[in-house]
Structure 1
Amino acid sequence: MMRYFLSVIFIFVFVFQGFCQRIKTESGDISILKGEKELAVSFSYDSIKVHGYDTETEFVKVKAQLREKHEPGSGAVFEKAWFADREAFYEPLFIEDINKALPQKRHINLVKNNPKAKYNLHIETLWVYPGYNVGFSHPAKIDVALKVYEINNPENVIWQSQTPIRIQAKAAPYKRELRIGAAYKELGILMSWYFKKRLK
């Protein structure tokens, strides 16, 4: 009986989480991408904040100092990895999953700096909760803002999402870069569903 009850709770949480993770339009019309075969994608982290800290700079400084106390040199390694993980993990995981999830009949090929594309999808990360996995685990979360603009005329924003969009990963791997990366994978899946619905 208890196992059945826990299964019901898990299903409810899973469905509720999926329901809450929605993309809504602030302005413009994403359907202008209908028929496009190529789309560029870019990422920015200029305004990012980390859960529990006033600034990303403060977070990196505190975490680097803690590591340095335990193992000299590890603070600098952490700081370098924190920023390098964006191009090494988060962005490729998003691109891989959105491209994989889009069906062939409405396929749009997303590539960074795509020379064939007329439009660019820009993803701005506003906030991150890294999650944890130390016996107990909790998935990472991110807040993002999305917009699509014409590459040759960046001021022509053809679509913009309501912000922030809160994304929670479905898994919490042991490694930090994969935990946060899992949230970007989830964003890719969510964005693919949005394209499927709006670009019919």
Structure 2
Amino acid sequence: MRCFFSIILVLVFTLQSFAQRIKTESGDISILIGEKELSVTFGYDNIKVHGYDTEAEFVKDKAQIRENHEPGSGAVFEKAWFADRETVYEPLFVKDINKAIPKKRRINLVKNNPKAKYNLHIETLWVFPGYNVGWSHPAKIDVALKVYEINNPENVVWQSQAPIRIQAKVAPYERELRIGAAYNDLGILLSWYFKKKLK
């Protein structure tokens, strides 16, 4: 019985992976063929959180709940919510995409890479933080991707169809790691896309 459920979980995760596709809206990602360095930046300007009209409403609500339970914890939550982007999500993405890209087509991604000709911009549009309170549900994110020439940012050489929905395959107890797992999986998905397109 335990083996049966393990097989079912593998099938579910496999189907989720195939469901998460990167499709081109415009341009041609093959322009990166031969590039050894790629810069990456992240944007959250228009992000929405599941169940709320705005991110500000989400942060205010969750901070107030914590503040009512323990004075001072609301401000801690608010600070962490925004800090987690640079300290957790972005490093996980960069680490995992660089780890997963095949050595034959090695292209080194670095945030704000001064050696690169092109920049990959990842705009997060929506997030579902997931939960893990006795029962669990992985986090999800919607993102849009584009690649542009650093010296001429208006020259967008490739852009994905949006949104790309990413659901993490794990749901750790800590909120930042749950959401971070979705960026981890985005890195792996994009590495497979590079493997296919940058031959």
- The residue correspondences of 1:170-185 to structure 2 (distance < 5 A) are 170-185=169-184
- The residue correspondences of 1:18-57 to structure 2 (distance < 5 A) are 18-57=17-56
Q: CA deviation at 1:12?
A: 2.5
In structure 2, what is the Cα distance between the partners aligned to 1:104 and 1:5? 36
- The residue correspondences of 1:94-105 to structure 2 (distance < 5 A) are 94-105=93-104
In structure 2, the gaps of 5 or more residues are none
In structure 2, what is the Cα distance between the partners aligned to 1:53 and 1:160? 28
Q: CA deviation at 1:104?
A: 1.7
In structure 2, what is the Cα distance between the partners aligned to 1:4 and 1:188? 29
Report how many aligned residue pairs link the two structures.
Answer: 199
For 1:136, the equivalent position in structure 2 comes to 135
Please, what TM-score do these two structures have when normalized by structure 1? 0.97
Superposition CA RMSD, Å = 0.9
**Amino acid paired to 2:118:** Y
SS in 2 for 1:163: coil
Q: CA deviation at 1:112?
A: 1.1
Deviates more, 1:140-149 or 1:98-107: 98-107
In structure 1, what is the Cα distance between the partners aligned to 2:27 and 2:143? 18
For 1:110, the equivalent position in structure 2 comes to 109
For 1:126, the equivalent position in structure 2 comes to 125
In structure 1, what is the Cα distance between the partners aligned to 2:2 and 2:155? 54
Q: CA deviation at 1:103?
A: 1.6
Q: Do structure 1's residue 66 and structure 2's residue 51 form an aligned pair?
A: no
SS in 2 for 1:90: helix
In structure 1, what is the Cα distance between the partners aligned to 2:130 and 2:5? 23
Q: CA deviation at 1:16?
A: 1.1
In structure 1, what is the Cα distance between the partners aligned to 2:112 and 2:30? 22
For 1:160, the equivalent position in structure 2 comes to 159
1:165-191 CA-to-partner distances (Å, cap 9, x unmatched) read 000111111100000000000000000
Please, what TM-score do these two structures have when normalized by structure 2? 0.98
Q: Do structure 1's residue 83 and structure 2's residue 46 form an aligned pair?
A: no
In structure 1, what is the Cα distance between the partners aligned to 2:11 and 2:113? 40
**Amino acid paired to 1:69:** N
Percent identity, please.
82
**Amino acid paired to 1:43:** F
For 1:9, the equivalent position in structure 2 comes to 8
